[in-house]
Structures are given as C-alpha cells and as structure tokens.
Amino acid sequence: MSRTPSTDPIRRSQSEQVRRIREHLANRSVVLVGLMGCGKSSIGRRLSSALSLRFVDADDEIERAAGKTIPEIFEDYGEAYFRDGERRVIARLLRQGPQVLATGGGAYMNEETRAAIRAQGVAIWLKAELAVLMRRVQRRSNRPLLKAADPEAKMRELMALRYPVYAQADLTVETREVPHDVIVGELIDALAASLEAASLASPALADKPPLDELTATPDELPVPSSD
Ligand code: S3P
C-alpha cells in the first residue's frame, strides 16, 4: 500500500530538509561544478525537481545567446571567445536565483565566475573518478576539448589542472555508478547541513542578491567583426 508523504517519516524528514534548504538559500543558486561527464546536468535536473526549483543549464543558455552549438562556437570563434561569453552568461544567470545551475566543466576555472558564485550561490563539486567520467563522455561526441587524439590523456590533464580549483567549492559530493537519486539524496543532506551551519554563523548569507539584467543580452556573445 502506498503511503502519503505526511505519514512517511523518511519522506516527511526529506520535505522538512527541503523546506529548510529553500529558506536558507533565499535567492541564491545551487551551482554544480565538475568535469565533463560527472553528471551536472542529469543529477542537477533531478536535484531541482527534489527542491522544487528551476533547473538551468549554462551551456544551453550559452548556445541560446550565441545562436550556435558549443562545437560551432569553438570552431568558428575559438575557445577564448567561448570562455568570455560563458563568464557573462553565468553572471547573468546567477542573478536569477533561486535555481539549480549546472555549469560547463571549465566555467569554475574563471576567477570572476568563482567570485560571482561565491556571492550568489552555493557551489557543489560533483567529484568523479576517471573511469566514471570516461564511460559517461563516451556516450556523446559534442565536447570540443575531447576531440583529442587521446581523450583519456586529455581528461587526466584536465583533472590535474582543475581538481585543485574545484576543491574550492563549498561542498564536494563524490559521484559514482549508483542511481542518480542516491547522489541527489546525498546532495540534499550535504546542502541542508552546510546551509544551516553557515546561516547560524552568518545570518547575512541569506540576503537576497539584486534581481536585474534577467534576460539574454546580444553582447554576451557578440559576433566578432571579420577584420
Ligand atoms: C567544457 C565542458 C563542457 C562545455 C564545453 C567546455 C570544459 O560542458 O562547457 O565543451 O571546458 O570542460 P560539460 O562539462 O557540461 O560537458
């Protein structure tokens, strides 16, 4: 027989956790960071539905602002141009919290983006082992950085470069080959514990960021002039 949420102690305690997370977040975003293949989008989508928050994928928003796919942006204008647009788009998205925001693997490497996330979000690093990442990225071929002769060597190189920076995130949750809902449960536990501790230490953290510049602007990824 199915039980209703109000009589199920596990569900009831999770909905209480969710209520407290929403309260402590106020207008801040839960921002997922980590390497390609760690599950930021798929886990982020499930987390957003568990928290009854909007889910936003920064890569999708970049593609929308540019009117091109990410491989096309890299091919037509190069990585530096993509990174600049990525920084601007994420700055705008962060003003639209609360939400769950999945960022592309390189976004958190930008110092300005890290500062904006620190001010307007809670960063969670979805940490994964190489084998897990490689198994997952092999399913799709839409990642320009992995169009290398040896994608696994490239991934190792990115791990060495990025893991020390991802470690600056507020929280780290190890993702692995278990059902996504298990990871979502761990994310909710980690968020509830850390937000509560942070707001006890500094109630000002719950202050709301200004709600402005909410729409895509044409200069986020401007078409470069041909000369
Ligand atoms: C990148 C990761 C990609 C995408 C772009 C660059 C990176 O996003 O932003 O291909 O630098 O790691 P995912 O991490 O969502 O695959």
- Under a CB-based contact definition with an 8 Å cutoff, are residues 34 and 216 in contact? no
- pLDDT tens, position by position, 16-35: 999 999 999 999 999 999 99
Is the distance from the beta carbon of residue 162 to the nearest atom of ligand 1 less than 6 Å? no
Q: Compute the distance between CA of residue 218 and CA of residue 122 in angstroms, rounded to an integer.
A: 28
Domain boundaries, the chain: 24-198
Confidence grade of residue 2 (pLDDT, cut at 50, 70, 90):
very low
Q: Could you tell me which CATH number the domain at 24-198 has?
A: 3.40.50.300
Task: Give the ligand 1 atom nearest the CA of 57.
Answer: 15
**Per-residue confidence (pLDDT) for residue 205, from 0 to 100:** 47
- Under a CB-based contact definition with an 8 Å cutoff, are residues 25 and 122 in contact? yes
Task: Give the ligand 1 atom nearest the CA of 143.
Answer: 10
**Per-residue confidence (pLDDT) for residue 6, from 0 to 100:** 53
Q: In a mutational test of the pocket of ligand 1, which residue from 56, 145, 158 has the highest number of ligand atoms less than 8 Å from its CB? A: 145
- 55's enclosing H/E stretch is strand 54-57
Q: Compute the distance between CA of residue 43 and CA of residue 52 in angstroms, rounded to an integer.
A: 14
User: Span 97-118, mean pLDDT?
Assistant: 98
**Per-residue confidence (pLDDT) for residue 202, from 0 to 100:** 64
Is the distance from the beta carbon of residue 24 to the nearest atom of ligand 1 less than 6 Å? no
Cα(40) to centroid(ligand 1), Å: 10
**Per-residue confidence (pLDDT) for residue 140, from 0 to 100:** 84
- Under a CB-based contact definition with an 8 Å cutoff, are residues 58 and 89 in contact? yes
Please, what is the average pLDDT of the chain? 90
Regarding predicted confidence, which is higher, 216 or 146? Answer: 146
**Per-residue confidence (pLDDT) for residue 215, from 0 to 100:** 63
Is the distance from the beta carbon of residue 70 to the nearest atom of ligand 1 less than 6 Å? yes
Residue 153's Cβ-count burial label (10 Å; 0-12, 13-18, 19+) is exposed
The token pair at 126 is: 């979805």
